[in-house]
Amino acid sequence: QVQLQQSGPGLVKPSQTLSLTCAISGDSVSSNSAAWNWIRQSPSRGLEWLGRTYYRSKWYNDYAVSVKSRITVSPDTSRNQFSLQLNSLTPEDTAVYYCARGAGRLDYWGQGTLVTVSS
């Protein structure tokens, strides 16, 4: 059974960087068939896919245009986890952030982290 466990702060100041981690059990971040995603949800923007990392003989990333200049999604193979970094935060980045497994359909999700951007 695949499980994704998220960790990271719930409160971040404007202009700072958000760092979240998603620890994987029951699968490998280096899987040749999976992809590892970050999605956020807010009342104003709904569910918004942010980016992903995946391994197909080498590492690849894809990012949403809306955050492309500010986001990094990266694997940590030694700890079997992946992370999200989102910099230059504004209050509009306030949302519940989820990690999820899927190369198309998103079949396993983390528990979600409410991130509030406020001074």
Partner 1 sequence: DIQMTQSPSSLSASVGDRVTITCRASQGINNYLNWYQQKPGKAPKLLIYGAFNLQSGVPSRFSGSRSGTDFTLTISSLQPEDLATYYCQQSDSIPWTFGQGTKVKIK
Q: Which residues bind partner 1 (CB under 8 A)?
A: 37, 46-49, 62, 64-65, 98, 100, 102, 104-107, 109-112
* Cβ 54 to partner 1 shortest distance, Å: 11
The number of residues in the chain equals 119
- Residue whose tokens read 């709904």: 46
Q: How far is CA 79 from CA 23, 51, 76, 100, in A?
A: 8, 20, 6, 17
Cα pseudo-dihedral 36, 38, 22, 100, rounded to 10: -60
Q: Return all residues near 70 (Cβ < 8 A) that are at least 6 apart.
A: 86, 87, 88
Secondary structure (3-state) at 67: helix
* Closest CB to partner 1 among residues 10, 104: 104
* Closest CB to partner 1 among residues 5, 15: 5
- The secondary structure of residue 56, as a DSSP letter, is S
* Closest CB to partner 1 among residues 68, 79: 68
* Closest CB to partner 1 among residues 33, 65: 65
* Cβ 105 to partner 1 shortest distance, Å: 4
* Cβ 109 to partner 1 shortest distance, Å: 4
* Cβ 55 to partner 1 shortest distance, Å: 17
